[in-house]
Amino acid sequence: MTALSCMEEDVLRCCGSKRFAKEMVSASPFTDLDHALRSARDIWLNKVDVVGWLEAFAAHPAIGTTSPSVSQWCKEEQSAAMATANDSALQELMEWNSRYREKFGFVFLICASGRGTPEILAELKKRYLNRPIVELEIAAQEEMKITELRLARLFNSDAGSNIPVTTRLPVSSPTKPEDRLGIIGAHIMAIPKVPSSKTTEISGNSHRTRPPITTHVLDVARGSPASGMEVHLEMWKGTQQHPSFTNRESTDWMLIGSSTTNTDGRSGPLMGIVDHITPGFYRISFDTGKYAPSGFFPYVSLVFQVRENQIAEHFHVPLLHSPFSFTTYRGS
């Protein structure tokens, strides 16, 4: 079988997360559709953070939207719903879509293929009662179902072969359900509503004007900001009270957010803007190896603790980097 390759713009037709698209392109070519779908599921659940999830959600029109800007794939996926909807049902669907978005901050997502309007509306009303932590998990799984169908369609079209478009892997969580909810809970700890405008902001009902944890990187060898360095922020979620030198490579570090430094050396938001940060241990990591391939450090990870009596404070953790040394401090 011919290996399956993909371009970033093609993957973005399947899922609106730029991080997801980049990771899929990096993981390709795939030996077959099953390989592609397994890779997609791993990337979506384990490598894309909540900002990427919300970016993907925002690429979807509300169920029942008839705007000319709606993609052909969306129209076909919603065809059963539109075929079974009368004017009153569409009006009720629009009203509940609005209520849902007002409560959760993102569009109601459901894999609509083959589903009529009554079924979709009933599911919307049922899910409206969920807690945000539960609903974000469900929405992410529905996004994965949609993405799987679209990837199958994409590769079927590209390969011109007998790849079954209906092939779908079960969207299972990588951990036990109770652990998975803990991961999602940390993802959305006070994640604010996403504004309806096209300009994405991370803001909310907070007295802060920036996230509790920030960073910037200076290239001291060049005497200038370090632009284009990837930064990850994680939180310790292990069963032990705190991380240690011996378990530094543990999988109990949970990704909160990631970004790339701009021309001023500052990263984008790595977490939401909240008044009180969750106490615990955090790790901020810098991809210094990619930034300076001939340097001594493949990456730099800084671990620090936020104590109970510090939850209202700000933690600025910069990196002063050169090819053969680095330093840091807690700034303001």
227 — phi, psi (to 5°)? -95, 140
207 catalytically annotated = no
**Whose structure tokens read 């060049």?**
222
The helix/strand/coil state of 174 is coil
Count Cα neighbours of 55 within 13 Å in the Cβ-side half-sphere.
20
**DSSP letter assigned to residue 89:** H
**Whose structure tokens read 């993609």?**
71
Closest CA to 142 of 101, 107, 182, 92: 107
* Rounded Cα–Cα distance for residues 55 and 149 (Å): 19
Question: Residue 266 annotated as binding?
Answer: yes
Question: Residue 329 annotated as binding?
Answer: yes
Q: Which of these is catalytic: 35, 60, 187, 314?
A: 60
Region of residue 185 (left: phi > 0; alpha: psi -120 to 50; beta: else):
alpha
Question: Residue 216 annotated as binding?
Answer: yes
Residue 174 corresponds to which tokens in the numbers above?
A: 């990588």
20 — phi, psi (to 5°)? -60, -45
Closest CA to 194 of 317, 55, 289, 303: 55
* Rounded Cα–Cα distance for residues 146 and 143 (Å): 5
Closest CA to 259 of 41, 32, 51, 15: 51
Active site residues: 60
Could you list the residues known to form a binding site for substrate, using ranges. 216, 266, 329
Could you list the residues known to form a binding site, using ranges. 216, 266, 329
